[in-house]
Amino acid sequence: MTDSWFFIAEAICDRCGGQCCREAHPPLTRDRIDDIISAGHPFGTIEYRGYACLAGREDGMCVMFDRGRCRIHTVKPETCRAGPFTFDLAGSVLEIWLKQDHICPLAGLLRGEPEAYARLFAVAREELVRLAQSLSPGELDIICRIPEPDTDKVAEIPLGDDFRC
C-alpha cells in the first residue's frame, strides 16, 4: 500500500459533504480543549451537553465545518480522528465499532484495503483509548447513550481493572 490511499480517502470525504459532521457534537478532553483554544479558536465554539463537545450550528453542522473541510483538522477531537470508527463501553471494555458503508463511504474503502484498515484502526484505537481514559464516568455514560446505528463491532479492548465506567 502506498500513501496514495490517503488521497483517495480524502476525495471520498470531500464528496461525502461532511455527514459525520452533522449533529455530531464530538466529545472533547481537557487537553483537546486547550489545543483548540491555543490554535486560536474561541471558547464559544465549545458547548456542554453533560460533556464538553464542539458546538453545532443552526443547520446542525459542526461549528468547525467550513466549505467542506474541518477548520481544526490538526487538533480535531479524538472521535473525529478515529472516524469512521466509533466506540461504546461495556464496563472496563472499550468496544470499537465501524460505521456501515451507507453511513460512511470511507468505511467501505477500508473494508477493501486491509493495510489502510490496519493503519486507521491503530489511530482509532489510540485516540479512543485516550478519550475513554480522560473523561469522567458520568461523561462517558452520557456519550455512550448516544445512538450509533448501522455500525459493526470490530474490536474489544480491555482498559484494565482500574477503569470503571
Torsion angle of the four alpha carbons 76, 23, 98, 51, in this order, in degrees rounded to the nearest 10: 60
How many CA atoms does the CB half-sphere of 1 hold within 13 Å?
15
Average pLDDT over the chain reads: 89
Residue 152: per-residue pLDDT: 96
Convert the pLDDT of each residue in 94-121 to its tens digit: 999 999 998 888 998 899 889 989 999 9
Contact 83, 61 (CB under 8 A): no
Give the global pTM: 0.89
Q: To 5 degrees, how large is the angle CA 106–CA 151–CA 20?
A: 50
Angstrom distance (rounded) from CA 20 to CA 42: 22
Confidence of residue 55 (pLDDT cuts 50, 70, 90): very high
Note the pLDDT of residue 160.
Answer: 82
The 10s digit of each residue's pLDDT in 18-33 is 888 899 899 999 999 9
